[in-house]
Chains A and B, each alone.
Chain A
């Protein structure tokens, strides 16, 4: 199914959870935050939140800054 992550379209498998997606991206051990359709999905819910066709995700992290 097609979703969008950080403004880029991506093809992912049906029933993919946020938890598995982050693992695939190598982000499961990192301090990141995930927004799904403009709502933050708390870390505790990553494993149980399944994505749907057309979902727009924002995945952010901390970077150097002033």
Chain B
């Protein structure tokens, strides 16, 4: 049986979700997205700049390669802005699949939990498939799940910080209690961070800066693809327990006589 990820009505083979922001140019964006093997990409919702001709090459590429768009509510600091953005995203993209992000503070970009919960309630009621960016607090994640979110997306560390999974113990608690997929979103810095998240049992990882901000984004995208797959395989393989003392790997019988005094 194939190891697929199911969220709401969607099924994916790739557990790596990537953002489309911060790349040098369109060619780099395309090459990195291809190398990542991702099927889900996030996009932001912004005013059209009417003073310049519109370049939709990115979206033509996303459509042609059949990526699943996950519009985000980045830049929203209130539930009402986030809800409004999701409604606009649904209208523009004809998709009810949304990443809910309500920020509390521009320096840390930590989520405003209260506003996130409020927005989630409205959006779930309006039939959206909500993937909320949240902090790594099991209580908040449980509330989001109970509201009806299709997944929970706890941060590993602040957005763009590259600090990795700062609190793997919280992530583990969230995993133990969740009946919906848990996707680490934010803070991944390098390949091992993605592998760590997947080894804990996370169902997916979402990242943007880790790839786009790397010196060689296309190579890093490939690294992240491999790391996400490796971490998932390791998790499914059932790792050995951690022990304080050694257990020899070679047999103890038949050791040749020693020259020791």
Instruction: Please list the residues of chain A having a beta carbon within 8 angstroms of any beta carbon in chain B.
Output: 5-8, 25-27, 30-35, 40, 42-43, 58-66
CB pair B43–A64 under 8 Å, yes or no, is: yes
CB neighbours of A42 from chain B (8 A): 91
CB neighbours of A59 from chain B (8 A): 47-48, 50
Instruction: Please list the residues of chain B having a beta carbon within 8 angstroms of any beta carbon in chain A.
Output: 19-23, 29, 42-48, 50, 53-54, 56, 58-59, 69, 71-72, 74, 87-89, 91-94, 159, 207-209
B71: nearest residue on chain A (CB-CB)?
A62
Interface of A is mostly: strand
In angstroms, Cα B207 to Cα A26, docked, is 32
Given A66-B22, A66-B159, do A58 and B47 touch, yes or no (CB 8 Å)?
Answer: yes
CB pair B208–A66 under 8 Å, yes or no, is: yes
Q: Which among A6, A8, A33 has the highest number of chain B CB atoms within 10 Å?
A: A33
CB pair B50–A66 under 8 Å, yes or no, is: no
A21 vs chain B, min Cβ distance (A) = 10
CB pair B93–A66 under 8 Å, yes or no, is: no
CB neighbours of A26 from chain B (8 A): 53-54
B70 vs chain A, min Cβ distance (A) = 10
